[in-house]
Structure 1
Amino acid sequence: MKVNVLLLVAVGITRRQAPFGSVAFFAVLSHSMLHAGENQNIVFDTVQSNIGNGYNPHQGVFIAPLDGTYVFHSSIVAYPNLEIWCLFVINGIPSSAIYAHRTDYHLDCGAQMIIVTLNQGDDVSVQSKAANDAIYGNSWLYTTFSGFL
């Protein structure tokens, strides 16, 4: 009888957590990066959600906690009077580009979505392509990185 009671308690705890296999995150850049380095990860520092804990807000990298097909999206806003080139990078290999060019008083946002099959432990990041690129970020939270399984 005690075994059945313990099993019911364990099931009750599981229902309060995210379902097994749930992976999703949404992070934003809360400040501008004025001198991004060549092939530098963009660290989207403000995490709105991180179900499955796949996104590392200190390194700007998503590490797949589970095998599966993932969707990733990023929007990048260029700094005034500059252009920005960014790349989705999967396991160190460039996958897809994001471009934006901004003039005075007009925001320009480049965006890209990719769908990829990952193995557990594979990593995905958004990187600046060239040295000294400038990415616009602020409290309006325009520059984003998100993904889900």
Structure 2
Amino acid sequence: MEKDFLKRETDLLQEINQLKDKYGDDGITLEEDQENEDAQNGYTEFIQHSEKEDTRSPLKERRSSIVREAVETEVAFYATHTQHDIRHLGQGQIIAFDQTVTNIGNAYNTHHGAVVAPVDGTYVFHVTLMGTLHNASNHYYTADIDVDDVGYSKFYIVPYEQSSHMFVIELKSGSAVSVKNGRVDDGIIGKHYSAFSGFLLYQHFQPPAVVGK
């Protein structure tokens, strides 16, 4: 009886040891535990490798280069006249300032005397004139600032005194701005006493087209 009990106890202990060897203390087989450990190590190595590649990834570099900024057209000019006395101008004749000190973007043309807007935008212009009279009975020199041949602003100037106008205007691409003499045979004093200048304040960009609508 005692021998049978001892044999059963020995067999039970061997069975318990076998179960421990097979499942371990947490109920997971040693083979499964090893597989989990290998998987965890592999995942850690994958994350570390991905982080290293991300720092030099061409795709990441390409994504950063996709960011674009709108490039605004540059327009700025300052023009005066090389002659001192510009006399006997015609009525409505464009005063061509034949010397450009600054002409960024080449929007101002010294031959026909007009500045042509290269792009849609808001522009700032400044005109200074010193006028002279052919007919002494006239008391003021007159001139006009035209936008596409439409009067936009007027000058009434005491002879041999200066007057200036500054104006802000929205223009379409191709619009022309010029300074025109008022009465026939009147004139201006050049040599930096009279000048025409302007610049593009900001360009008007078209909104992007929406595809699929």
Deviations 1:83-127 (A, max 9, x none): 32111100010000122112xxxx400111111100110000000
Deviations 1:18-56 (A, max 9, x none): x74111100002212110111100010110011111000
Task: State the aligned residue count.
Answer: 125
1:113-128 equivalences in 2 (<5 Å): 113-128=166-181
Report the equivalent of 1:100: 157
Helix, strand or coil: the match of 1:50? strand
Report the equivalent of 2:68: none
Q: Give 4+ residue runs of structure 1 displaced > 2 Å after superposition.
A: 79-83
Q: In structure 2, how many angstroms separate the alpha carbons of the residues matched to 1:40 and 1:83? A: 17
Partner of residue 147 from structure 2, selected from 71, 77, 90: 90
Report the equivalent of 1:148: 199
Q: Which has the higher strand share?
A: 1
Helix, strand or coil: the match of 1:55? coil
Between 48-57 and 107-116, report the one with greater CA deviation.
107-116
Q: In structure 1, how many angstroms separate the alpha carbons of the residues matched to 2:106 and 2:141? A: 29
1:1-149 equivalences in 2 (<5 Å): 20-31=72-83, 32-79=85-132, 83-102=140-159, 107-138=160-191, 141-149=192-200
Verify the 8 A CA contact 1:86 1:99 in the aligned structure 2: yes
Give the TM-score normalised by structure 1: 0.78
Larger Rg: 2
Helix, strand or coil: the match of 2:184? coil
Q: In structure 2, how many angstroms separate the alpha carbons of the residues matched to 1:27 and 1:61? A: 11
Structure 1 stretches lacking a partner, 5+ long: 1-18
Q: In structure 1, how many angstroms separate the alpha carbons of the residues matched to 2:72 and 2:105? A: 9
Q: In structure 1, how many angstroms separate the alpha carbons of the residues matched to 2:97 and 2:147? A: 17
Greater relative CO (CA pairs within 8 A, separation 6+) = 1
Q: In structure 2, how many angstroms separate the alpha carbons of the residues matched to 1:137 and 1:99? A: 17
Deviations 1:116-149 (A, max 9, x none): 10011000000011111121113xx110000101
The CA RMSD measured in Å over matched residues stands at 1.6
Helix, strand or coil: the match of 2:111? coil
Report the equivalent of 2:24: none
Amino acid at match of 1:144: A
Q: Percent identity?
A: 35
Give the TM-score normalised by structure 2: 0.56
